[in-house]
Structure 1
Amino acid sequence: MAGALQEELVQHVYAALQAASCPLVEGLYLQEADSMLQLLCSPSQHRTDILAWICSSISPSFANSKTMSVRSKDPDVLNKEMAALGQELILCKASDLDLIRGNASAHRQLQFLEQLLTLVPGCKKSAGPRMDEELLLNELFTAENRPHLTQMLTPTLDPWPAHIKALRKGTKFSFKQNKEEAADVATLLQSTQTALEQLQSECEFLNSEAQNPGVFSPGSLRVAACDLQQLMATFSHVYETDLRAYCSRDPPSFSTETDVFQRVHQLLLACNTELDMLNELSEASGSMNEEVNKLQTQPHYWSRGEKRTLPDQLEELTRRSRELLTLLHI
């Protein structure tokens, strides 16, 4: 079941990439799920380029030309920036570099790509079904699978066939085994004995009877069976009291609209721009204040063979002007 779910999921992601008009998948006419899985979940430069294109489509600032040269020299810079964008979108952590490089599990990578593609503007949603936990639960609790689930919830430990039980109790059968049936049983017993001996030779813990004398003792088997029965009975009770009502409901629908993310991104970008302007204004004010202090305290102007500060120079000019006016009045 897991393989079928993964196959449908990789087809859904590949179809979403084609619907988003990704230039990196144009001309790739992949039909097999294994080929799509190799392209999307195996570490390669092509996969990194596809992921970078998705990030650039979601965040235009990600494709800033100022950082392209740095990314080309150090690929780790690009991986860290994509992980940081994933953290901003609450899809992964900044430390999930294995997920970005393609070293994580295929199912996790496909879920990550699917969530990213829902945020690409103008991306048309594929008509295929979404492969998630809700779909798995719906399939488990279908009408045809419910009897198997009920049998799993109420197990019975009855290893002996009916005719063996009758032999152990000393009862008689209404039928007689012929020679052919006896020969078949003997052959089956002989092959079983051979298989058990081969298994014992391959398993080290079966040969160490001195170290583990009671591994397969009847008491241990009885305790394990009782524990299993109690666990299944507990789960059956929880299912009947708490889970059954949820299993009969339709799966919840989650909105994948990206308007709220776009508005938040625009507001944060405007806030960052305003903060940058305030920071530059503060730096300009500090520089101007420093220049004024230098004019007030440091000598820059020559007068009568020596440098003077601006206040001293102004005071000297004022004094000389007054003396000149006094002479003119006389």
Structure 2
Amino acid sequence: MAAASKDKLVRLVYDALQAASCPLVEGLYLQDTDSMLQLLCTPSQHRTDILAWICSSINPHFATSKSMSQRSKDSDAVTKEMALLGQELMLCKAGDLDLIRGDASPYRQLQFLEELLTLVPGCRKSAGHKMDAEMLLSEVFSAENLPHLSQMLEPTFNPWPAHIKALHKGTKSSHKTSREEAADVAALLKETQSALEQLQSECDFLKEAQSPDVFSPSSLRVTACDLQQLMATFSHVYETDLRAYCSRDPPSLSTETAVFQRVHQLLLDCNTELDMLNEVSEASASMGEEVNMLQTQPRYWRRGEKHSLPDQLAELTRRSKDFLSLMATTSDHHHE
């Protein structure tokens, strides 16, 4: 079972390299798994170059680093640099130099290469398209679909029913009548539209209401003047007609404008406060969406896959508990 799994894994890694258009495997055309295993899991300069190409595809700055420029002079520096990149990707430790050199077990090397290749842009997508095409061809040329394929290659068309033939072989006069009817309908629609437009122009209540003007000090001043005129008219009527029935003095309107300025300022402050409350509401909704996305969408890498923040915290909590339990067990054995 382990050998079969290893053969499947080595083919998967080799196909992923070809799908990613790795220049170091072009033209090899390896068919058996032993040759693929020899290429990918045996220490050699070719294998080191393939691993360096994968690291450069994941991190473009890796290709321009000092260690890469001195590859021929100091191969250990390149090995340590690739191990550090693997540690940053949480795929290995900085001290796993045997894994980088190719001295580790083949299965562990293949797993490491597979996880690295999943981070190469376009690698998984290209391999997926290739696999989809192969599955489609296998499905089309399967034994149960061969009759359908033959039918598609030599299609047959049954004769039309009698009533369809009668409609298809209609006289030219009928076609002419249909065209005339269509023209009459179009003329009627145009006439109806003209009548509706004329009716709308004659009716004021069908017109669209104009947007109200923005509040301004001038409008408040006009309103105050109208109020003063109304009060003056009322005072005149009061003096001439109502004075005999009431002993009070007529109401007076102050000529000072400070009260209108204060009202206008209060209205402006109210509008500003409403705008601030609206912005706070929008910011709160946006923050809620961001928190929801942070809780639900996978954004953090772990072992070649993205996970959400709660999953990452749960994993860190589990690992912390395991570590504390291990430390407690070690301490108990030490005291014994």
**TM-score > 0.5, shorter chain as reference:** no
Bigger radius of gyration: 2
Higher percent of residues as helix: 2
TM class by smaller structure: 0.3 to 0.5
Q: TM-score, normalised by structure 1?
A: 0.39
